[in-house]
Structure 1
């Protein structure tokens, strides 16, 4: 049996920018991507703590060390600058492997920097 489990999570970061007239995706500071074991173009779920919105999109690299979290394209309508979001990625694996798997969870500070 093949199941989906949480692979990575960036817990509670602030939206720093929203660009409606962009192709799409979420731009994430490359330091946060590395720490959370995310790669460019990886599918992620965004959960907005402020308004309950949930959406799926893909990751693009933001400037390293910038703290940037930017929703692009139509996703920009799902959050406002300053909203707190949780970014989650999932992986598919065999059931027995999933029982042993340990996801990566990071908790950035109030400025989207690694603690």
Structure 2
């Protein structure tokens, strides 16, 4: 049996751009993608802390060190500049893999600069 588990999370980033007339996706500072182990074009979940909206899209790279979080295309209707977001990815794991499973948790400051990166343990996820 496989279980769908949290793979990574970027916690409480601030939306810097909301581009309705763009073909879609979410542009994320490459430093944040790397820290969270998120690949370009990987599916992401976005949870808007400010307004409660939830959506799925895919990640694209924004310039390294820029702090950019740009919600694009139709998703732009769900996030405005200044909104706080949680960006998460999930993956399927076999039962045997769960003993070593440890999601990457990336925490940022108000400028979307990395403050800390942690590996979660099951008790931290409860």
Q: Give your verdict on TM over 0.5.
A: yes
Following the alignment from structure 2 to structure 1, what is the Cα–Cα distance between the partners of residues 86 and 103?
A: 15
Higher RCO (Cα < 8 Å, 6 or more apart): 1
Q: Residue 31 of structure 2 aligns to a residue in which SS?
A: helix
User: How many residues matched?
Assistant: 115
- How many Å apart are 1:52 and its aligned residue? 0.5
- Counterpart in the other structure of 2:6: 6
- Counterpart in the other structure of 1:69: 69
Moved over 3 A (4+): none
Unmatched tracts of structure 2, length 5 or more: 116-126
- Counterpart in the other structure of 1:34: 34
Following the alignment from structure 1 to structure 2, what is the Cα–Cα distance between the partners of residues 109 and 93?
A: 31
**Matching of residues 85-96 of structure 1 within 5 Å:** 85-96=85-96
Unmatched tracts of structure 1, length 5 or more: none
Q: Residue 108 of structure 2 aligns to a residue in which SS?
A: coil
Q: Residue 39 of structure 2 aligns to a residue in which SS?
A: coil
Name the TM-score, length of structure 1 as normaliser: 0.97
- How many Å apart are 1:110 and its aligned residue? 0.7
Compare 61-70 and 99-108 and name the one that shifted more. Answer: 99-108
Q: Residue 12 of structure 1 aligns to a residue in which SS?
A: strand
Following the alignment from structure 1 to structure 2, what is the Cα–Cα distance between the partners of residues 73 and 96?
A: 39
Q: Residue 114 of structure 2 aligns to a residue in which SS?
A: coil
Following the alignment from structure 2 to structure 1, what is the Cα–Cα distance between the partners of residues 68 and 84?
A: 13
Name the TM-score, length of structure 2 as normaliser: 0.89
